[in-house]
């Protein structure tokens, strides 16, 4: 492949998760979706909401920036569609904020569902008051530069997870879970069954009928903690 045939740095058109799948996924906790997706897809715990009440579901628009520069985030906001979630690989840099109140207000006006940044943000009190779902690795009052190129809607690594444009993204007080676009629809019935099973388990605990998990002895035997025929 010659350099002339490389994909452009800015990809404007992406295939998104079906809107109905996003709507249904938004009814489930991020933990349920992470479990049914094979206990993977959850971003590193350093990336947290500015307020525990923040939650969202949407489709990924991916952004790669150089540390401390937010030019490509502005580009992402210019092409994002209502319901999109902007995910930013900020390289985990906390030396300056990549977004603040003004850009958050713009996101709300554009219908962007949330922003997730592996980096810092600022104006946290104003963003909390606004109620816009902002997830970040930290805070810093320094402002960013707007002069360095990056990439938009290419695969990125954020919080230890590879994210492709158009993937399903769900966030709540526990953090953010990403599910591949092609697998998203199949996770919905699995999530419903997981919720049903956990609800039954909690009911069993509350009525004192199931105070220990049914799988415990078998797992202890398989791990060599107790012998065959033994029980706790």
Beta strand pairing call for 156-158 and 84-97: unpaired
Number of separate domains in the chain: 1
Q: CA distances (Å), 42 to each of 11, 38, 119, 176, in order?
A: 25, 10, 17, 6
pLDDT tens digits for 125-160? 999 999 999 999 999 999 999 999 999 999 999 999
| Residue at 213 is within a domain | no
| Residue at 3 is within a domain | no
pLDDT on residue 1? 45
Token look-up 């609800």 returns 199
Mean per-residue pLDDT of the chain: 95
Count CB-CB contacts under 10 A for residue 212. 10
- Is the predicted pLDDT of residue 4 greater than 90, yes or no? no
pLDDT band, residue 231 (cuts 50/70/90): confident
- Is the predicted pLDDT of residue 15 greater than 90, yes or no? yes
From the list 12, 7, 20, the residue with the least C-alpha distance to 168 is 20
| 48 within 8 A of 71, measured Cβ to Cβ | no
pLDDT tens digits for 32-44? 999 999 999 999 9
| Residue at 199 is within a domain | no
| Residue at 5 is within a domain | no
Q: What is the domain-level CATH number for residue 93?
A: 3.50.30.40
| Residue at 61 is within a domain | yes
| Residue at 91 is within a domain | yes
Q: What is the mean pLDDT of residues 106-126?
A: 98
Domain with 77, as residue range(s), is 10-188
């Amino acid at each position: 492949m010659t350099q002339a045939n490389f994909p452009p740095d800015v990809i404007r058109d992406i295939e998104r998760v079906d809107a109905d799948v996003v709507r249904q996924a938004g009814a489930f906790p991020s933990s349920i979706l992470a479990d049914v997706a094979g206990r993977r897809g959850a971003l590193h715990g350093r990336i947290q909401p500015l307020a525990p009440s923040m939650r969202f579901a949407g489709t990924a628009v991916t952004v790669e920036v150089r540390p401390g520069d937010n030019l490509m985030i502005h580009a992402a906001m210019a092409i994002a569609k209502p319901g999109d979630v902007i995910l930013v690989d900020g390289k985990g840099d906390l030396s300056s904020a990549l977004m603040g109140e003004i850009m958050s207000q713009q996101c709300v006006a554009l219908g962007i569902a949330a922003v997730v940044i592996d980096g810092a943000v600022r104006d946290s009190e104003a963003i909390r008051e606004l109620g816009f779902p902002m997830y970040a690795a930290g805070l810093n009052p320094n402002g960013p530069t707007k002069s360095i190129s990056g990439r938009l809607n290419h695969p990125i690594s954020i919080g230890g997870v590879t994210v492709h444009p158009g993937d399903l993204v769900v966030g709540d007080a526990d953090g953010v879970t990403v599910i591949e676009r092609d697998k998203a629809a199949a996770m919905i019935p699995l999530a419903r069954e997981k919720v049903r099973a956990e609800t039954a388990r909690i009911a069993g605990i509350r009525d004192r009928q199931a105070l220990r998990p049914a799988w415990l002895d078998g797992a202890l035997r398989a791990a060599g903690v107790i012998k065959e025929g033994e029980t706790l």
